[in-house]
Structures are given as structure tokens and as C-alpha cells.
Amino acid sequence: MEFTKETVKHIAKLSKLEFEEDKYDAFQKEFVKIMDHFENLSDVKLEDVDINDLEDKKSVLRSDDVHRFEDLQALTKNVKKMRDGYIEIPKVVD
Amino acid sequence: MELKGLRIKDMQLGLAEGKFTSVDLLNAVYKRIDALDGEIGAFLSLTRESALEAAQSADDRRKKGVSLGPLDGIPVAIKDNICMVGATATCGSKMLEDFYPPYDATVVKKLKKAGAVIVGKTNMDEFAMGSSTENSYYKKTKNPWDTSKVPGGSSGGAAASVAAGMVPISFGSDTGGSIRQPAAFCGTVGLKPTYGRVSRYGLIAYGSSLDQIGPLCPTVEETALAFEAVAGMDRYDATSVHSALQDDFMDYVKSGAKGLKVAIPTEYFGDGLDPEIKASILAAADQLKALGVTVEYVSLPLEEAALSAYYVVASAEASSNLARFDGIRYGYRTDEFDTIDELMIKSRSEGFGEEVKRRIMIGTYALSSGYYDAYYKKAMQYRKTMEAAFDKIFEKYDAVLSPASPVLPFGIGEKSDDPLAMYLADIYTVNINMAGLPALAMPCGVSKDGLPIGMQFIGRKLEEPTLLRLAYDLEEKLDLPKTAQEKEGA
């Protein structure tokens, strides 16, 4: 399988990441090596394994009761900016 | 007061006899950290104020004759990806440099309830991705046995904090070996519990189907006490197992290994394993026999495909889990941006380190349209076969004896340029997370260069007590130094 610099750029875009131009080349070389290694998964015979067969597993559910989180201030402690009790976020539409 | 050894039973005796108080003990811990941590770098932050309050409460209780149990007043450290109110949880990342969790992780809640005194947060590879703690944004932790070597990772700070004689219990997390490999590198005991045995609530997620919190300690006894304090069902973790520890847990752990059956997979001791490690583990196996344990060779394939499957699953989960760091709600935000896309891309690119970006990229690729069947589905299929292979061994045996790492602690900077080489060194640990099994790493010898050698027992699901029972008896028989400090005779 072809793993080009363009593929790396596409993956970076999907990942919401960007790199310096020369870093894409470095990543491309590294990825080829890592992905080549991952190809050894194709050498194992796995066709018969059904990953959706969950016969031996059983789901356990807890009762759905409401627990109030009292410390409202703590919830907004990590917010970058607050104004009048509201979370202020960067303007995203013109 | 000086800290002498890290045995909890000695600490509890001293406290009970009034030789020292929990506050004295805490001060001795900080004295040791202050003296050594400049060089070792085990801690990212210390929680002096809340620790002092906790120690004072323990002393007040003791005066009234009340005890919350064996951890009451005992100093404990936690890895910096475990949330605790009042302390940052940086995860070793610039992304979370100023992140103060609004709640305590269940593990922290349980430790506080047991009276433990949490002294600080330990260094780690960024978002627990790495095997050397060199990927921390903040600093590199050094191996207390030889400061030119790495302590292993990603719970390298945790392992170093115990090996340097700073705390008797340090909690880490293990996604593909992150408790057991540093335990092996630093000569401590480390337990990765069964998936679901210890709540993951408040553990900042890396690979959610693989992550488990567990203790690193100088001896098996401390490990058992620490595990007992945090194990159990938790309504806040949907993957929590509805199963309690047996009532006579500690007695069972100390009941002797005689009669247990241990399997040694021939394939695990082939090429690629350091000969010194191999010899040391096989010598330990002979000691097991002398204890009345049945030790037999079995066949259990060790394939590099297992590593591929692990890295596909872990990276895929990481790429999804780390999508929450968008620069908008919390965490690092870039200074300048025009559009929402630019805000996210720049915040993520500036906030994450290289290895984290690499794994997000691998995971995104493995999950992307057209490649899902080739990578993720195959990896999940492989995962099932792995579980079945272990199940078959456990029909006849109580535990599998395996190396924890194919190599001895390596030099700082020695492998950091070759990510694939670093991944390949996880060959003995990743299977266990993929199969959801418990495993205990413990020291089994010292190399000719004076570095610790570790091994691991792998067990049936929920049978941590059996692993601890084996290890408790063997540890006594091997009688190795419990910390780097003890090795030097200090």
C-alpha cells in the first residue's frame, strides 16, 4: 500500500493537527515503517473470528438514579473566560 | 525523623507505639523528596497542604483510638493522570498544564476514606504514551538504581518514587505495560489488576478498553494492601466488575504458594530476550518449585502481530479519546487564530507532544474509511484469539510466568529516536491488557551491572489474590533489596 506525504497530510487534517513541512517527510518515513510492521496482522488467519459474538458476556446495568453534583463553581474552574456567569468562547461566525 | 525503609507494618507499629506521628512521617517523606527529587524527578507536584491536613486528621483519630485501617496515616503518591481536587492533573502534557480537576477519582476517594495521606502527583509519559517517561513535557525521571538509565514508563515517576524510598505506595496506570515495565526497571512490585477491577473514574483516558489503575510498591504486602483499598465495583465506571474481594484476602495472600500450578511458555524465552533476564527468571522458577509450586513448560505463541494489534487498538482509542482536547472547553488554547478550525488545529498542534501526535495519527488512519477492516477489525479479531489462548492455559494452570520486559533498563536518550524499537519492547506486556487479565510484576534478581531484573505472573480474570499469594511466598524466598536505597545499604 502506498503511504505518501499526501496521505500523511490527509491524516493530519482528519486529526486536526498540523506540522512543519519537513516534519511531514519524517512522519511519512516513520509511518511506512510502522504500517509495514502492522502488515504482520494480515499474515495471521483470523477470518473465522467473529468480533460481534458476545455469547459469554453479559451486560450489567445499574439503576439510573440522579446524583446531584453540588459544586457548580468547580465545574467552570477550568474555563478560560467567564462573563456574568456565562462561559465566554471565541467568536466562530462572522 | 528520617525515613527508614518503606514497610507499612513498621510504619503502623511506630505510629501505634507513639514513636512518631503521621505528621512526623509525612515530614520525613517530604524531607526525602526534597533531598532526592531534584535529581530523580519522580514528582510533578506536591500537595503539601492537603497532605498535612490528612496527616493531622489521622493523628487526631489515633489519639481517640480510631483507625480507618492499614493505610490510615500512610503516605501515598498518585500518577498525574489521576484526578484529585486541589492539584493539577497535567498528564505530563502541556495541554493540561493548568487543569484542576473538579472532582476526585474513585481511587483517590477510596484512598482518602482509608485514611491515606496523598503527598503528590508523579511524572509520566505524556498521556501515558511511552515506555521511558522521556515523553513528559515537564521533565525526564531518572532510575534511582542508576541515574543514567530510564525508569521505564509510562508510570516512571511512580516506580522511581518507590525505588528511591520516598513513598511505600504509588499508584500508576497500565494500558500496555505502564505499571509492570517501570516496576521491572526500578525493582519494585507492580500490579495491573483485571480490567474492571479498579474503577477508571477520574483516570484521564488513553485506551479505554485497556486502561487500569494499579499500585507500585516495595513489597508484595504493600501491593496487596494498596490493591485491597481501591478494588471494587463503582457506579461511575460502566466497565466496573460486580465482584468483591474475598473477606480473608490478606490471609489468603500469605497462605503459601504450595500446590499452585505455574506455566512457563517456551516461546516467551526465545531470541530477543536478554540472557541475563532469562537466567534470572528461570532461577526464580526453580525457587518456586522449591516452594512446592508445580512449574511446567507450555506452548503459548508470542507473535509480533500481538504488538501490531495492540498499537492499532490503543492508538484508535487514543485518537477518539484525545479528540476532546480542542482548545475550547478546557486545556491549552493557542494565542492567535482567525477561524474555529485554526483554533483547534493550532491548540492541538502546540499542546500535544510528538509521541501523542504520532499515536493520534496512527489511530486516525487505522479508523479511517477504507482501512478499518485492514487494521482495527483485524486487531479486534486478534484480540479475541489472544483471550482464548490464555483461557486454554488457565484451564490447567493458576498463573503464567513471563518476562516483564525483554531488555534491562536502557540509557536516557538511547531509544527515543526510534518509536518502532520502543514499541517492540512492549512485547511481553500488551497481551495482558488486550485479554483484560491481571498481572503482577516483581523483582527476581539484579544484573551484573547492578540493575534490577523483573518478571511477571499473569493470572485468570479476578484472580489477583492468587498472583499475590505466589509472589508473597517467592519474594520471601528470593530476599532481594526492596529499593535502590536498600541496595546501597543506606
Q: pLDDT tens digits, residue range B237-254?
A: 999 998 899 999 999 999
Q: Do B340 and A62 touch (CB under 8 A)?
A: no
Judge contact between B380 and B371, C-beta under 8 A. no
Contact list, B337 vs chain A (CB under 8 Å): 90
Test the B interface: residue of A2, A16, A21 with most B CBs within 10 Å: A16
Question: Which residues constitute the domain of residue B85?
Answer: 8-263+396-487
Q: Please determine, for residue A55, whether its predicted confidence score (pLDDT) is greater than 80.
A: no
CB within 8 Å of B307: residues ≥ 6 apart = A37, B423, B424, B426, B427, B430
Ranking B24-33, B91-100, B335-344 by mean pLDDT, the lowest is: B335-344
Test the B interface: residue of A4, A7, A22, A34 with most B CBs within 10 Å: A34
Does residue B353 fall inside a structural domain?
no
Of B85, B309, B330, the CB nearest to A79: B330
Does residue B273 fall inside a structural domain?
no
Contact list, A58 vs chain B (CB under 8 Å): none
Q: Where residue B119 sits, what CATH number does that domain have?
A: 3.90.1300.10
Q: Please determine, for residue B296, whether its predicted confidence score (pLDDT) is greater than 50.
A: yes
Does residue B334 fall inside a structural domain?
no
pLDDT for A76 equals 85
Does residue B308 fall inside a structural domain?
no
Does residue B291 fall inside a structural domain?
no
Domain boundaries, given as residue ranges, for chain A: 5-43
The whole-angstrom separation of Cα A79 and Cα B245 is: 40
CB within 8 Å of B397: residues ≥ 6 apart = B261, B262, B263, B296, B298
The whole-angstrom separation of Cα A54 and Cα B254 is: 37
Test the A interface: residue of B361, B384, B387, B417 with most A CBs within 10 Å: B361
Counted domains in chain B: 1
Bridge-based pairing of strands B169-174 and B75-79 is parallel
Contact list, B304 vs chain A (CB under 8 Å): 37, 40
pLDDT single digits (tens) A14-38: 999 999 999 999 989 988 988 888 8
Q: Do B329 and A79 touch (CB under 8 A)?
A: yes
Which of the following is catalytic: B22, B93, B132, B154?
Answer: B154
Mean pLDDT over all residues of chain B?
95
pLDDT for A1 equals 54
Which of the following is catalytic: B132, B173, B178, B416?
Answer: B178
Q: How far is A59 from chain B (nearest CA, A)?
A: 10
Q: Do A78 and B304 touch (CB under 8 A)?
A: no
Does residue B22 fall inside a structural domain?
yes
- Judge whether B415 counts as a catalytic residue: no
Q: Please determine, for residue B393, whether its predicted confidence score (pLDDT) is greater than 50.
A: yes
Does residue B328 fall inside a structural domain?
no
pLDDT for B490 equals 43
End-to-end CA separation in angstroms for chain B: 15
pTM of this prediction?
Answer: 0.96
Query: Given the C-alpha cell 526500578, which residue does it identify?
Result: B186
**Number of helices (H) and strands (E), helices first, in chain B?**
17, 11
